[in-house]
Structure formats: structure tokens, C-alpha cells
Amino acid sequence: MNRYRIALAAAVVVIAGAVIATLVRQAGPASSAPSGASALFPVDQRYAVPDFTGIDGWINSPPLHLSELRGHVVLVDFWTFSCVNCVRTVPHLRELYDAYRAKGLVIVGVHSPEFDFEKVSGNERAAVQRLGITWPVAVDSEMATWTAYSNNYWPAEYLIDQSGKLAYVRFGEGDYDVTDSAVAALLGVHRGAAATPAPVTTAMTPELYAGSTRGMLADGVAYAGMGSPAVYPDPGPPHEPDHIQVTGGWIDHGEYLEASAAGHVRLRFRAADVFVVAGTTGGDRPLSVRLDGADVPAPLAGPDLSGSGLTVTRQDLFHVVTHESGGYHLIDLAVPAGFELYTFTFG
């Protein structure tokens, strides 16, 4: 199954009967996007979508079925809690929920995990609470509803009209003004003036995976065999940008790397914000973070840093650098044994 986290992307969806053709484009200025009722699919081209299928449990709600929600406008949000693009969408969903819930909007989050640790019930519930999500969340651990919708993206928004038919689709973060307009148009309510969207940054390091299943190491270094500790030498900071370098002892688990001894994770990146999906299964793991060879300056420290330190207590998304200037910069994590590295994502 091809799955994609989409940052700063939009989707234009054309429906012909039961066939959806999608075109993913870079988000442009607000003036280039449709607004109001023009964002909605024509009524005669809408069709019924699958019900919530193979759900392992519900958070914030008893089990729901789309047939029970007829007469409401329903926004189905596919997300997973370690996806930074999904996390950045949550405040905008909250604004929609607060603005339109009393007028007939229902939001249902479908938590479809990318990594195994996102399937752990306690992790899911903790993330819902930590992110302040108060709408119903369907736990789609086996990706059954994801598959029923033929979805390939985190996040993805499917807007269903009062008759239970698909009226609008949005893949990726952004175009919040358009989604708001579509909801308001379906509900038939007046929509106030929208805020001017922030400018889009396109020159940015892409999401980078650790582990041999999807990851590549910097400077042509090959992964050692899976499942056994291996030592990666330390030649100094990597020359190649946009690739992860590891030094010291590591075990390759395919979808992530686990430190078997103290070592470093280094990366030359270009972005304003740096997030790392990391974890531990055996106690707290304190590590230090350096930026361009020095402690992270206070104005650039992400909210999950304490000084230039980060203590990893769980498997989750951590925000380590914020508001960095343009150009390439070097981040260096000094990590202990037991530290698990999944991905770097950027904003």
C-alpha cells in the first residue's frame, strides 16, 4: 500500500460516477483556490462513501455509523499522531468544530497508524488528550476504513453532505479557508472574513525515514544487516545534505533504528522547524541537541526542548528546532543506548 504524509499540498478531485481522479498540486496563494460553494462537487456527481469499517474502538464517543449521521455535515479526518502535518491540522479542525458544531457539523477522526507504536491504545488515547481533540475518534489500527476509502494520505479530509454523499476532498494540510467555506456552504450559514494564509515555504528538506525499509544514510553509507547490533564509524559531520547520518552502535529494525550504544544522529537540513519521531520502550532516554556546532539558542529551541536537552519518555513526535533561518543547518543529537529513531519531518 502506498501511503504518503503530505506537507503543504492540496488536491483537486473530480468525480465521474464511482471513479475519483486526483491531482496533487503545491498549495498556491489564496486567490488561486476555489471558495464557498464552488469548492463543492456538483450535487449530481456526489456518491455515498463507505461506513466506518473494521474499527478497533472509539475515543470520545460510542460507536458511530454514517447512516446515523444523516442530516449532519460530516468531516472524516484521516490522521496519525506522529505525523506533523496531521498535528498542524488539529487547531484548524478545532476552529471548525467550535464554529459549526451547533449548526450541524460532526467531525470524526479516523486514526490510521503508520508505525506499530501508534497502534498501542494507551499511546493513541494519550495523544488525543495531549492534542486537545474532543471530537469522536475511530481507532483504525488495521487500516480497514483507510482501505475502504482507498485513501493514501495523512492528513486527508472527506466532507460528506447531509444526504450521506461525498461533497469535497482535501489531501494534505493547508487551504483551511477553502475547507471552512465548503463546510459553511453545505450548512447554509454565513461565513465571516477569513484570515490571510501564511506564505508557503517550498525549499525544504523532505521527510526522512530511519531504518532500511525506507531510509537512506548520508554519504553513501549502507545499512548493516537487520536485527543485529552494528557499529557505524564517526567521520565527522555528513557532507551530503538531506540524509541522516548515524554513528556508534545501532540495530536496524526496518522501520526504525535503535541505538545499542551511545552515538550520534546528524543531519544537514533546510527548514524553519525540525521535528523528530522517536521513542523508547525501556525508561527515559535523555539526549542533547546541538545546532551548527553549539547549544540550541533559546529563540530557536522547539517546545519539547529543555535548554539544549530532550528527554524521550515515549514514542511520539518531538518539536526540537523552531524559527530557524534560511539555508542549510546541522543538527546533532547525542543519544544513549535504547533510543529509537523513526523519522525527521520539517516545517
Residue by residue, pLDDT tens for the chain (347 residues) are 345 665 433 333 333 233 333 322 222 222 233 445 568 999 999 999 999 999 999 999 999 999 999 999 999 999 999 898 898 899 999 999 999 999 999 999 999 999 999 998 888 998 999 889 999 999 999 999 999 999 999 999 999 999 999 999 999 988 899 999 999 999 998 766 544 444 444 588 999 999 999 999 999 999 998 999 999 999 999 999 999 999 999 999 999 999 999 999 999 999 999 999 999 988 899 999 999 999 999 999 999 999 889 999 988 899 999 998 889 999 999 999 999 999 998 98
All three cell numbers of 75: 468531516
Q: Cell 523552531 appears where? A: 322
Report d(CA 111, CA 52) in Å as an integer. Answer: 11
Domain spanning 4-187 has what CATH number? Answer: 3.40.30.10
- What would you report as the CA-atom Rg of the chain, rounded to the nearest whole angstrom? 21
Q: Cell 451547533 appears where? A: 102
All three cell numbers of 238: 555528513
Instruction: For the chain, give every domain's residue range.
Output: 4-187, 208-346
Q: What CATH number does domain 208-346 carry, 2.40.50.100, 2.60.120.260, 3.40.190.10, 3.40.50.720?
A: 2.60.120.260
